[in-house]
């Protein structure tokens, strides 16, 4: 199933839970929309926002710094009453591991090269996000469709 190509505005039912301007919540895939519904409905999530945290990262493609807009920030309350902050990236499971070169082909295909470049950039973003979170005692997590099954 394709999760990309779907874009729209999300209107939360629980405006008080959204940390930011609730009129500007945009999803860029069905997976992101599904996660937004989860955040809005889940009693475990006390606050959330979308694309509000920006992390600089060094791209392996051009060796320059770029800005990574992390998909989500969520705040949850633990059983001990502490507030836990987690940055969430939502991706199709197929994009969470390096691409595999087709066996038997001597030259890499254009598709493989594109997937390898995307993987390299994603890996750099996720490394920067992990370090960003460690500095703040937060967590960074990648969520896929396997985590969002109804």
Closest residue by Cα to residue 8 from 40, 38, 33: 33
Per cent of the chain over pLDDT 90 is 73
CA–CA separation, 61 vs 55, rounded Å? 17
**131 assigned to some structural domain:** yes
pLDDT tens digit sequence for 111-127: 889 999 999 999 999 99
CATH classification of the domain holding 82: 3.40.1350
Residues in the chain: 150
**Structural domain span for residue 121:** 4-143
1 has pLDDT over 50: no
Backbone angles phi, psi at 111, to 5 degrees: -60, -45
DSSP-derived letter for residue 145 is T
Q: What predicted TM-score, i.e. pTM, was given to this entire model?
A: 0.89
**149 assigned to some structural domain:** no
Number of independent structural domains in the chain: 1
Q: How far is CA 87 from the centre of its chain?
A: 8
| 3-class DSSP state of 82 | coil
**148 assigned to some structural domain:** no
CA–CA separation, 106 vs 119, rounded Å? 21
Q: Which two tokens stand for residue 1?
A: 């199933």
Closest residue by Cα to residue 125 from 49, 71, 46, 50: 71
Per cent of the chain over pLDDT 70 is 95
- Active site positions, annotated: 32, 71, 91
pLDDT tens digit sequence for 68-107: 999 999 999 988 889 999 999 999 998 999 988 877 777 8
**89 assigned to some structural domain:** yes
**33 assigned to some structural domain:** yes
Residue indicated by tokens 């005692």: 137
**150 assigned to some structural domain:** no
**100 assigned to some structural domain:** yes
């Amino acid at each position: 199933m394709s999760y990309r190509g779907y874009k729209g505005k999300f209107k939360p039912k629980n405006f008080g839970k959204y940390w930011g301007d609730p009129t500007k919540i945009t999803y860029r895939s069905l997976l992101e929309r599904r996660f937004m519904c989860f955040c809005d409905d889940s009693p475990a999530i006390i606050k959330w926002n979308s694309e509000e945290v920006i992390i600089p990262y060094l791209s392996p493609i051009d060796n320059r710094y770029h800005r990574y807009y992390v998909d989500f920030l969520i705040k949850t309350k633990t059983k001990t009453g502490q507030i836990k902050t987690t940055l969430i990236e939502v991706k199709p499971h197929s994009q969470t591991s390096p691409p595999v070169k087709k066996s038997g082909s001597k030259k890499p295909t254009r598709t493989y090269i594109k997937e390898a470049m995307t993987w390299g950039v994603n890996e750099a973003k996720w490394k920067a996000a992990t370090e960003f979170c460690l500095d703040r005692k937060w967590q960074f997590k990648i969520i896929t469709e396997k985590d969002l099954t109804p």
